[in-house]
Amino acid sequence: MSTSAQAKTIANLDQLAIATLKGLVIDAVQAANSGHPGMPLGMAEVACTLWTHHLRFDPAAPQWPDRDRFVLSAGHGSMLQYALLHLYGFDLPLDEIKQFRQLHSKTPGHPERGHTVGIETTTGPLGQGLANAVGMAIAQERLRANFGADLLDHRIWVIAGDGCMQEGVASEAASLAGHLGLGRLVVFYDSNHISIDGRTELTFTEDVGKRFEAYGWHVQHIDGHQVDQVEAAISVAKGQLGKPNFIVCDTTIGRGSPKMAGSHKVHGAPLGPDEVKATKLNIGLDPEQFFAIDPTVLAHLRSKNAARSADQLAWQARAQTTANGEALLAFLKPDRVAQLAAVQWPTQPVGTQLATRKCGERVLAALGVAVPQLFCGSADLGHSTFTILPNETYVQRDDFKGRNIYWGVREHGMGSVANGMACDGAHVPVISTFLVFHDYMRPAVRLAALMGLQVLFVYTHDSIFVGEDGPTHQPVETLGAMRMIPGLATLRPADLAETCAAYQVALQRTNAPTAMALTRQNLPELQRPDGMDPFAAFACGGYVLQEVADAAVVLVASGSEVHVAVAAAELLAAQGIAARVVSMPSIELFDAQDASYRAQVLPAGLPCVTVEAGSTLPWKRFAGARGACVGIDTFGASAPDKVLAKYFGLTADNVAAVAKAIVVG
């Protein structure tokens, strides 16, 4: 066959592959009677061109470290990605495509990391995927800088839509990406001018390309349906390594559908039986066949898989036979038990006063020596939250060796980008801000929990005791909200010993995120019973800190209120009332213990008085009908912390009075 004839054949196969992908999408959505066919039909040319000729992957080893990352930020178009995974040979059988959006299928409504092979991150909440991709790009640049360009040569490719561009989280992340010059990041913007309510011009008329140019991105504009333009744009993007790449793809949503192309009606609803057939006929498929795949197309799309596997195996050989490669592999799969055993945990004498945010600073300094995967930063609050690794540099453009980063005032972006770093699999991000600003990043925290990512969310200034800053900065309800996120452990340590234990717990939770709430104000180091292992006790979530004979009441507290409970117990003892003191730094960890342990700590026959400088709602079940909750169910106020403690009843005198009233009646 002549070269020109062969090229014509390949081009025809590429076009047939695009049509086949579209056919799978519309059949799966129609079978489910649910889904979003419009975006996949509009971006099929871009996706197939990328996957056939540029994306670096190996279906036989979907997790190999130097693979390209593909992120579908417009996750509602999930059938595009599922069809790609099946067609290119990943372990996603056609039967799973037929079970799109059905219970326990591998093809849920939006892509889920860890649930479906080849899915790098859970997407669907718009803008999150783009922000995750920025994190993957930062992670890649760090590994590249520290272990060598010959071992890390992959790129991060994103398909994002109009909704992503309207969400603030994407703007925060894109701004940071431009600042850092993440040249291995390429975003295809599916500019189809349609949202659920209608044309985007109803609300969204800015020039998005110019916005990204202002962020410092390299921007191109193409017709997303012209394969030659897609090819050319990708080639240009590969050569622009000094800036992240933004390719504006002018597309038609639902392209190929005779009646619905270009309409908001095709965004999130099946085409209907008649339009399915009409669309298939329009794009060159047999309208009477469903889930049909020409074997020639399948062979064509998978023809490079042997070479892809060879590429992956050659990489493995380099990694296993070079010093940098061995170091990289060790970095990617650390022995966390050995690392934690090597930590020189800080200590301080009983009674020593130190804020737990400062305790955290001491703990991170010790951990940084033993756990090189830690990567730290804050939302412009490094000298308030103290999440800085000492003797380490900051990541900046053209210098990614450091282990600290300036996130800027971008709480939501920080959380989502950190999630992307965790998805990449090498780093353990430690990110921080004030607790009240958790609400700015809650969607990212929720997704970290949904994905089971090891991200440490460190929150300081954790209560009304930030004082004069007032109710805008006093997170009275935030701890309760965080405790409601499935899979997230919220830890509120009371002193240095508990802060050490909190970090140990967080680093042992390799498949889940952890949130810490640390104080601005100083707290005393607590006295513990002789022989108590504070690490083991803390890991139970709640433990008896101070035992007494014939206890009449249990005082249960977390964080900065534990010392208040201890002082209240002393006042009660002077009045002849014996009070057990329980430190409960984590309700979630306590709930995970067996019933016998929980009953030992909180005997059913003893009334409980709970104490926390926040909403009482999470504590009411511990207090029960006989007990009481000392807390704050209103907003705070602007005043010095000691004034606020007295005003809101968060004093030893008040706690003792509440407990006494319960005991003596």
Cβ pair 436, 384 in contact under 8 A: no
Angle at 628 between CA 623 and CA 630, to 5 degrees: 115
| Helix, strand, coil distribution of the chain in percent, nearest 5 | 50, 15, 40
Give the mean model confidence (pLDDT) for residues 294-323.
97
Tell whether the model's pLDDT for residue 418 goes beyond 80: yes
Tell whether the model's pLDDT for residue 5 goes beyond 50: no
* Mean of the per-residue pLDDT values of the chain: 96
Tell whether the model's pLDDT for residue 495 goes beyond 50: yes
Give the count of beta carbons closer than 10 Å to the beta carbon of residue 594: 7
- Note the pLDDT tens digit of each residue in 195-246: 999 999 999 999 999 999 999 999 999 999 999 999 999 999 999 889 999 9
Tell whether the model's pLDDT for residue 39 goes beyond 70: yes
pLDDT of residue 240: 87
pLDDT of residue 509: 98
- Give the pLDDT band of residue 9 (cuts 50, 70, 90): low
Cβ pair 485, 494 in contact under 8 A: no
pLDDT of residue 241: 85
Tell whether the model's pLDDT for residue 7 goes beyond 90: no
Tell whether the model's pLDDT for residue 536 goes beyond 60: yes
pLDDT of residue 1: 40
pLDDT of residue 6: 43
Rounded to 5 degrees, φ, ψ at 301 are -70, -25
Tell whether the model's pLDDT for residue 158 goes beyond 60: yes
- Name the token pair of 394: 């900051």
- Note the pLDDT tens digit of each residue in 97-125: 999 999 999 999 999 999 999 999 999 99
Q: Are strands 608-611 and 553-557 parallel, antiparallel or unpaired?
A: parallel
pLDDT of residue 199: 94
- Note the pTM of the prediction, 2 decimals: 0.97
- Note the pLDDT tens digit of each residue in 66-77: 999 999 999 999
Q: Which residue has the tokens 């403690």?
A: 645
Percent of the chain with pLDDT over 90: 97
- Note the pLDDT tens digit of each residue in 553-602: 999 999 999 999 999 999 999 999 999 999 999 999 999 999 999 999 99
- DSSP code for 272: -
Give 506-568 as a 3 state SS string: HHHCCCCCEEEECCCCEEECCCCCCCCCHHHHHHCCCEEEECCCCCCEEEEECHHHHHHHHHH
Tell whether the model's pLDDT for residue 8 goes beyond 80: no
- Name the token pair of 8: 């014509």
**How many whole angstroms separate alpha carbon 579 and alpha carbon 435?**
31
- Note the pLDDT tens digit of each residue in 347-378: 999 999 999 999 999 999 999 999 999 999 99
Cβ pair 256, 184 in contact under 8 A: no
pLDDT of residue 3: 39
Q: Which residue has the tokens 């074997």?
A: 295
Delineate the domains of the chain, giving CATH numbers in brackets. 3-310 (3.40.50.970), 336-524 (3.40.50.970), 540-664 (3.40.50.920)
Tell me how far CA of residue 581 lies from CA of 6, 423, 554, 578, 591, in angstroms.
80, 40, 6, 10, 18
| 3-state SS assignment for residue 628 | strand
Angle at which helices 208-215 and 168-180 cross, to 10°: 40
Give the mean model confidence (pLDDT) for residues 617-634.
96
Give the mean model confidence (pLDDT) for residues 418-427.
97
**Catalytic positions, written as ranges:** 411
pLDDT of residue 10: 57
| 3-state SS assignment for residue 429 | strand
Give the mean model confidence (pLDDT) for residues 635-639.
97
- Give the pLDDT band of residue 2 (cuts 50, 70, 90): very low
- Note the pLDDT tens digit of each residue in 383-403: 999 999 999 999 999 999 999
Give the count of beta carbons closer than 10 Å to the beta carbon of residue 7: 11
Q: What is the DSSP string of 591-612?
A: HTS-HHHHHHHS-TTS-EEEE-
Residues 6 or more apart in contact with residue 433 via CB below 8 angstroms: 378, 379, 381, 385, 411, 414, 440, 441, 459, 460
Percent of the chain with pLDDT over 70: 98
Cβ pair 521, 355 in contact under 8 A: yes
Angle at 616 between CA 614 and CA 621, to 5 degrees: 145
Give the mean model confidence (pLDDT) for residues 470-483.
97
Give the mean model confidence (pLDDT) for residues 513-539.
97
How many Cα atoms sit within 13 Å of 568 on the Cβ side?
Answer: 30
